[in-house]
Structures are given as C-alpha cells and as structure tokens.
Amino acid sequence: MSESNHLPSSADLAGKTVVVIGASSGQGLAVSRAASEIGATVVMASRTASKLEAAVKTVGSGARGVATNMLDPTSITALFDDVGELDHLVVTAVADEVKNRSRFVDMTDEIATRSLDKFWGSFFASRAAAPRIRPGGSITLTSSIAAFDPPADGGFAMMNAASAAVATLGRSLAAELKPIRVNVIAPGVVDSGVWDSMSDTERDGFRSGYGSSLPVGHLGRPEELAAAFLYMMTNTYTTGSVLPVDGGALLT
C-alpha cells in the first residue's frame, strides 16, 4: 500500500498469495472473490472437495482449491506444504454451527466439543502458516459478536466461548508473532451457509424480521464482510484488532 492511499487497491494484493480456509461458502468465498479481483493468487481451502471445486469456478482464474480439513493437523500440514510461502491467511471455517444449539444443562459432550471446532481450526491453521508468512503478511481469524453479547435466547454457550477464544487467540498472536499482523473479524448475523438448515420461509422471516430490526435494516451480506477482511489484510497499521462488523447489532 502506498503511504498516501489508505484504500485497498490492486497494488496491495497484486502478486500476493492469500490462503482462505472456509472458502467454499459465505464469507470465505466472498473474501476469495474480492482478493482475486484485486490481483491476489488465492488458495481456497475447505472440507468438501466437490463443493470447493464448484466454488473455485466462480472465482477468477487466479484461484485454485485444495480440499482440507482444518481439524486434521496432517491435512493442514499438507495444505501449507503445497502452498509454500504465503502473504495472508484468512480463517472463516465453521461447521454445523446452528445444529450445535443446545440448552446448556442438556448439552452433550459431543456438542460441547464440536462447538469448539472453529477455535481448534484457527489454532492448527495459524500454527502451520506462521513460519511461512512473508514479511508484511497477516493472519485474520473469525470470531462473532456473540462472544461479547451472547444472544438472550441462549443455546450457544460453548460456541460463544469458542468465538471468545478465537478473539483472544488472535490478540495473543498479534503480540507473539509480530511483525506478522494478526486481527479478528467479529461478524453479526450474515446471510450465508450457516443458516442453510432453515426452510425458505424461516429464512425469509429471519431476513425481514431480524434483518430489518438492525440499524442498517438488513442482514450482513458476505461481500460486506469481505471488505472488512480485505481491510485487515491491507492496512499495515492494524494489528491485534477485533472488529465487529454487525450492522449495528451491538447497539440494539
């Protein structure tokens, strides 16, 4: 980035390698598209090979896919051995988040453990990537505003704890891995794959009900989040930040 221009431009990511884990859907797919559009070589990683292949086809020619399970250290090592050196790592992956909902006193060990997946994925990915990140590079992890303002209707205590753990991991890594910059996005509700288990009617109701109750009047769009991830990658004075991108939900 030139010193006189604080807006991300093609010059910021041209020739850079960006690895996105969680890239076949939602925010990860939107980040992959946005980074590719401004000149990055994007390595798109996510779990299901067929879904990833279809997603890669929707991104520019500078993208390729590597099927990866972020919860399997061997798979993560294979990803970064394949990539070699990189400039920016983005982790957005999460699995079956809404299905993990459970009243706390009834929560099984299995659901509690699964709820922490995104924390462990962030750990495995950051640990493998850090030694390969070139000077000027960054890591951006994904938390949730629920880490700070848990929903009143409950059921996600362990997932909220995982989001808080991701936020604290990111800030700790910003201190320990410097000069690599490490930041965290804390999304509010985003209209993405997380909500795919809803029926069309439920989802429309969610959009018009919760969405229109937000100060911005709509649910988050993946591309609105992608702009925040690009900011974290390209703003050379930002590290250790946890940025809510939530349509004003924390105000309500």
Specify the stretch interacting with ligand NAP by CB under 6 A; choose among 87-95, 108-116, 129-137, 210-218. 87-95
- 191 close to 161: Cβ distance less than 8 angstroms: no
* Position 160 contacts ligand NAP (CB under 6 A): no
The residues facing 65 across adjacent strands are: 44
- 68 close to 47: Cβ distance less than 8 angstroms: yes
Closer to ligand NAP by CB, 5 or 48: give it: 48
* Token pair in block for residue 87: 């400039």
Q: How far is the CB of 144 from ligand NAP (least distance, A)?
A: 3
Closer to ligand NAP by CB, 174 or 225: give it: 225
Distance, CA of 193 to CA of 61 (rounded, Å) = 24
Closer to ligand NAP by CB, 1 or 116: give it: 116
* Position 26 contacts ligand NAP (CB under 6 A): yes
Among 193, 211, 244, 247, binds ligand NAP (CB under 6 A): 193
Size of the residue set binding ligand NAP (CB under 6 A) = 31
Distance, CA of 160 to CA of 147 (rounded, Å) = 5
The residues facing 17 across adjacent strands are: 41
The amino acid at residue 98 is V
- 163 close to 183: Cβ distance less than 8 angstroms: no
- Measured on CA atoms in the order 210, 244, 132, 234, is the torsion positive or negative? positive
Phi-psi sector, 117: left (phi>0), alpha (psi -120 to 50), beta: alpha
Q: How far is the CB of 188 from ligand NAP (least distance, A)?
A: 6
Closer to ligand NAP by CB, 9 or 221: give it: 221
Among 18, 56, 59, 94, binds ligand NAP (CB under 6 A): 94
* Position 28 contacts ligand NAP (CB under 6 A): yes
Among 97, 138, 211, 241, binds ligand NAP (CB under 6 A): 97
Closer to ligand NAP by CB, 11 or 198: give it: 198
Closer to ligand NAP by CB, 26 or 137: give it: 26
Kindly list the distances between the CA atom of residue 166 and the CA atoms of 2, 11, 90, in Å, as whole numbers in the listed order: 31, 30, 13
Helix, coil or strand: residue 51: helix
Contacts to ligand NAP by CB under 6 A:
21-28, 46-48, 51, 68-71, 92-95, 97, 118, 121, 142, 144, 187, 189-190, 192-194
